[in-house]
Structure 1
Amino acid sequence: MQYYYENYKEYANKLREKYKKVDYKSNIKQEFIEIKEFQKELAKKISFTPYIYNNCSANCRFCSEKLERTSGQAKDFKLSEKYFKKLRLILSKLKENRIFLSVSGIEPLESLDFLKEVLQVFKNWEEDGGRIEEKVIYSNLSAGTYNLGKIIDIIKDYNISRIETSRHHYNEDVNNNIVRFKNKDIQLNRNYENIVRTLKNYVDIKLVCVLQNTGVNSYEEVKNYLKWARNNGINKVVFRELSLFNESISGNESSNYIRKNRVPLIEVLKDIEDKAFTLTEILRGYYYFSFKYEYKKDMEVTFEVSDYEEMIKQHNKDEIQKLIYYPNGDLCCDWSMKNKIF
């Protein structure tokens, strides 16, 4: 059985009743600002993703980039000559918004020169009065095996708030069976751990692990993963359920793997009735739920689930909560490039 958004809403309400002192937050109802050029209303606090495209250093079995929606449209990643000019124009329309800068795509740290140019545009906008609340980079840190010094420079020069780095098992062989790294150096835990230990001296690090049958798949495995994280000086970890989608996703390697290897987050949460875990916050997002715990009084552990179909339903409205800017110069309100707004 799959637990979709409504099921988690019901579960969150039960937890809310049981733990009355837990902080329950919701970003469903937000203040929106009309942007005439986009013919849409944008959330006052909005997520903005400059999508960085590379030939990925991994070949994850569950990669969302490989999911094919039967009614979808192929992504065009050819870099527009007017990319930076248009990015500056877009930002000029967002002076009343507060931005959560989410730097992702396909391994943004693999193209540091391009990344620096992108971040410089945002820095200039910020210096001109724009407001950026957080700057987060998402990466498997493969580039850290050969470009660690330059990554540190970017962190310092552009005041990066956090790096969320994916590692889907504490055993390097199990992890590589899932991720299938092309870069052999990052396959080894000792190299990855050295990169993480170095970077945490400069930036907040959060480990990201996707629950799956071939990897971390139970409460006991969650605890084993947290032990490994603690041993490497990391005190923030997020576990995510494989994203939920319906039959509009056509069958391919990724979608078949996801269907076969999903570990329902709700089953793991039901096992967390443990004195070592203390529920501190429930966040209801517009297409996701987040359950935050304190673990052994020194770690922040979050469990998240997202529903792609709920996301698509929300993104088809005139009220926009997320912007994705693609290399071809399309500004979209969804991961599908058919939802271009500018």
Structure 2
Amino acid sequence: MAASLRNQYQTATSSPELVYFRQATWRLYQPVASVLWQAFGQEHRLRPGLTFTPFANAVRCNAHCAFCSEELVRHEGHQLTAKRLIDDYPAYFQRLRAVLLPFRGFALGLSLSGLEATAEPRWLRGLLACLSGLEAEGVVFDEKVLYTNGSGLATEPSLVPALHGFGLSRLELSRCHDDEDVNQRIMRFNRNQPIWRNAVYEATVRGLHEQLAVKNSCILTQTGIATLSDVERYLAWARGMGVRQVVFRELSRLEGSYLPNVFTDWIELNRVPIEPLLTAVAPTLEAIRPGWQYAGSTFGYYYYNEHFRWQDLEVIFETSSYPALQAANATGVLQKLILHSDGTLSGDWDPDSRVLSRVPAPSLDYYPSA
């Protein structure tokens, strides 16, 4: 099984082997040996290839996706980072330096995510400048990915060359449907965001290709893209914008790991499992749907991907499990580093879980619940 720092890739050579991959999914991931690392006065076990996320939360998110993971509440209690805004940028960037310098020389993947990083261009430019300075001091990012709904790229196109100059590996651009009205029912952009309109979205995407690698990300939902004919129509639309890589993601499997609320209810009601889609594309290796080619499978510590070619596009179907993610975290090996907007560095999306370093941050304020 071929392995990278972050996952393992294998190509099924027989139909029974492909069935086995699909049944076992992320359970086939073979953890690599952890690395002992001194930071903040303690020894930590790090997973080679772990990613670092400076949680983007300078302003409220400008979309209100019906599946938002930041609205999920764990049974044991969960402090939502999304409820705290960053309102002192110099203090935040000083803290960012303090938490990353101890990891100089350890290769990190940079995952720019959280809420919507492009919603506050001044903060994002400051973030890129701070991270570039840290690279000059020996902090190593071997991959840099921005997960975005594209809103700020439409209203502040100067962000595109800034991201290019930073050396962004790719931009994962979220869009849940090729029809703007259907997409709006799922992603629920603020109406003052031009990106909700297809004409703006399409023009924005076409303008990205000269400077950034673009990967379209589509969450599968009963409300939106649910069938193979939906998938192929979406792919034709993406191809028309010059996109050459698309991932279709199943809503992450919760399996009772979060308290019921309107978001978990929506997720379970709208879930589209990938298994029927995989069967429709490739019931066996000998009977693959015309126009499609199986390329291989990826095993991560909490996700499974199946890779195909459709015309000249790379197409990925992905499924993932929150319980598998939490089980990996429970091993004591740090799988991820997250700088939360209250100044806490933790190994979990919960700022009160697996804390590595915490400082008082009086300038980082809560906003009231809606």
1:306 to 310, 320, 328: 320
Q: Residues 242-321 of structure 1: matches in 2 within 5 Å?
A: 242-273=251-282, 274-296=289-311, 298-321=312-335
Find the aligned partners of 2:111 and 2:281 in 1 and give their Cα distance: 30
State the Cα deviation string for residues 73-95 of structure 1 (Å, max 9, x = none). 22242437743233222222212
Q: Which residue of 2 aligns with 1:52?
A: 56
Q: Which amino acid aligns with 2:145?
A: V
1:147 to 156, 177, 197: 156
Structure 1 residue ranges without an equivalent (≥5): 1-11
| Contact residue 235 and residue 300 of structure 1 kept, 8 A | yes
Kindly indicate whether residue 230 of structure 2 is the aligned counterpart of residue 221 of structure 1. Answer: yes
Q: Number of residue pairs matched?
A: 326
Deviates more, 1:196-205 or 1:156-165: 156-165
How far the C-alpha of 1:226 sits from its partner, in A, is 0.3
Q: Which residue of 1 aligns with 2:72?
A: 67
Q: Which residue of 2 aligns with 1:123?
A: 132
Deviates more, 1:81-90 or 1:111-120: 81-90
Find the aligned partners of 2:348 and 2:249 in 1 and give their Cα distance: 20
Find the aligned partners of 1:13 and 1:335 in 2 and give their Cα distance: 37
Query: Residue 249 of structure 2 aligns to a residue in which SS?
Result: strand
State the Cα deviation string for residues 78-136 of structure 1 (Å, max 9, x = none). 43774323322222221232111100111000122222222222212222233211111
**Gap change, CA 1:126 and 1:16, over 3 Å in 2:** farther
Query: TM-score, normalized by length of structure 1?
Result: 0.89
How far the C-alpha of 1:277 sits from its partner, in A, is 1.8
Q: Identity rate of aligned residues, in percent?
A: 32
| Contact residue 72 and residue 336 of structure 1 kept, 8 A | no
**Gap change, CA 1:113 and 1:15, over 3 Å in 2:** farther
**Gap change, CA 1:85 and 1:169, over 3 Å in 2:** same
Q: Which amino acid aligns with 2:156?
A: N
Structure 2 residue ranges without an equivalent (≥5): 1-11, 283-288, 358-370
Kindly indicate whether residue 336 of structure 2 is the aligned counterpart of residue 322 of structure 1. Answer: yes
Find the aligned partners of 1:315 and 1:331 in 2 and give their Cα distance: 15
Query: TM-score, normalized by length of structure 2?
Result: 0.82
Kindly indicate whether residue 150 of structure 2 is the aligned counterpart of residue 161 of structure 1. Answer: no
Find the aligned partners of 2:229 and 2:155 in 1 and give their Cα distance: 34
Find the aligned partners of 1:153 and 1:280 in 2 and give their Cα distance: 33
Q: Which residue of 2 aligns with 1:89?
A: 98
| Contact residue 281 and residue 292 of structure 2 kept, 8 A | yes
How far the C-alpha of 1:217 sits from its partner, in A, is 0.3
State the superposition RMSD in angstroms: 2.3
Q: Which residue of 2 aligns with 1:9?
A: none
Q: Residues 1-20 of structure 1: matches in 2 within 5 Å?
A: 17-18=17-18
How far the C-alpha of 1:156 sits from its partner, in A, is 2.8
Query: Residue 279 of structure 1 aligns to a residue in which SS?
Result: strand
| Contact residue 257 and residue 322 of structure 2 kept, 8 A | no
